[in-house]
Amino acid sequence: MFSQPLLMASRSAKMRKAITAIPVTRRVVGRFVAGETLPEVVAITEGLLSEDLTVTIDNLGEDTLDVADAIATREAYVALLSRLADLGLGRRAEVSLKLSALGQSLPSGAEQVTLDNALAICQAAEKAGTTVTIDMEDHTTIDRTLGTVTELRRDFPWVGAVLQSMLLRTEADCRDLATAGSRIRLVKGAYLEPESVAFQDKKDVDLAYVRCLRTLMHSEAYPMPATHDLRMIEIGQQLAADAGRAKDSYEFQMLYGIRPAEQRQLSREGHTVRVYLPYGTDWYGYFMRRLAERPANVGFFLRALVSK
């Protein structure tokens, strides 16, 4: 009931202005976002690593229309990776990026600017001894994003890709990308998509998720099931066991602030669990997608508003 208007609002400049202006929003945002600055996200990273979790850090931002902003995002990632290198955290702390924050939506020269920025971040990641995963955005960007992943993988074969089971095309993408060592994060999909390209019924999205998971687990790829759906996690564990996979040949991923107890429980059971850790000032779109995923989050937000 709530998710469609919230996902539409996540793209509205007017709503962005209104919601980010409410002081109490920040307190609620703090449940999902690891602060606005580099020292804040590094401190939370160290805390999570000390609990045997791993992380993938996202410098928040998307849909950049200005080259200077895209370059600023690249520099923020390079600074973050240099800090991670100094701390010697290696693969336990990697980064996730959105190509629309690096130039993919620019009115001209988008492809080259995006690739150059992403290459600079991959070089910094290699120096830090870690990896990069390229987030997936709405369906209109997929061919370009997978094209950039292919380019990046020429020099950096460890670059991870994301596939969204809600899209009709994804099972075929999954088969194509499930090559040896290919790091694939499998998600259900967080964007509002039309029925011409996406399943509309949650049951169909879940069934497609299981089919994709099966393809990945029975391939030579490195699957990264990213979900808070405990049924999907259980099926993932079963498929990994059926395929005779060692526990270090795949990992589970969840978002910061969502199902933290389950994150720790899976880790205690010997699984690699990676927490997606966003930070920065541009949290509006990310926050609205989290509200859209769960009506209870909207209630939480409204209660915070009235009790301020």
List 105, 117, 182, 297, residue binding ligand FAD (CB under 6 A): 297
Q: Which of 158, 191, 222, 287 binds ligand FAD (CB under 6 A)?
A: 191
Element housing 163 (H / E): strand 161-164
Euclidean distance between CA atoms 128 and 88, whole angstroms? 7
- Give the position of tokens 């998307």: 62
Q: How far is the CB of 164 from ligand FAD (least distance, A)?
A: 5
**Token reading at 198:** 């996406």
Which of 95, 115, 136, 167 binds ligand FAD (CB under 6 A)? It is 136
Which residues 147-166 are close enough to bind ligand FAD by CB under 6 A?
A: 162, 164
CB of 190 to ligand FAD, least distance (A): 4
What's the distance, CA 216 to chain centroid? 18
Q: For residue 268, give Cα distances in angstroms to 263, 271, 278.
A: 9, 7, 24
Give the residue with the Cβ less far from ligand FAD, 245 or 294.
294
Helix (H) or strand (E) run with residue 133 in it: strand 132-134
- DSSP one-letter string for 23-78: TTHHHHHTTTS--SSHHHHHHHHHHHHHTT-EEEEEE-------HHHHHHHHHHHH
SS3 call for 246: coil
Per CB under 6 A, the list member of 62, 135, 173, 251 interacting with ligand FAD is 135
Other Cβ atoms closer than 10 A to 290: 24
Token reading at 31: 């449940």
Burial class of residue 64 in the structure, from the number of CB atoms within 10 Å of its CB (0-12 exposed, 13-18 middle, 19+ buried): buried
Note whether 53 binds ligand FAD by CB under 6 A: no
Residues numbered 240 to 279 that lie near ligand FAD (CB under 6 A) are 253-255, 258, 276
Question: Smallest distance from the beta carbon of 86 to ligand FAD, in angstroms?
Answer: 25
Q: Which one of 58, 74, 92, 135 is the catalytic residue?
A: 135
* Closer residue to ligand FAD (CB): 84 or 86: 84
Rounded distance, CA 36 to CA 141, Å?
A: 27
Query: Is 187 an interacting residue with respect to ligand FAD (CB under 6 A)?
Result: yes
User: According to the binding rule CB under 6 A, does residue 228 interact with ligand FAD?
Assistant: yes
The smaller minimum CB distance to ligand FAD, of residues 183 and 185, is found at 185
At its nearest, how many Å lie between ligand FAD and the CB of residue 219?
20
Single out the residue of 227, 263, 267, 272 in contact with ligand FAD (rule: CB under 6 A).
227
Catalytic residue of the set 92, 185, 274, 290: 185
In the chain, % helix, strand, coil (3-state, to 5) comes to 55, 15, 30
Q: Is 206 a catalytic residue?
A: no
Our answer to whether residue 183 is catalytic in this structure is no
Active site members: 135, 185
Q: Can you give the binding site for ligand FAD, defined by CB under 6 A?
A: 135-136, 162, 164, 185, 187-191, 226-229, 253-255, 258, 276, 290, 293-294, 297
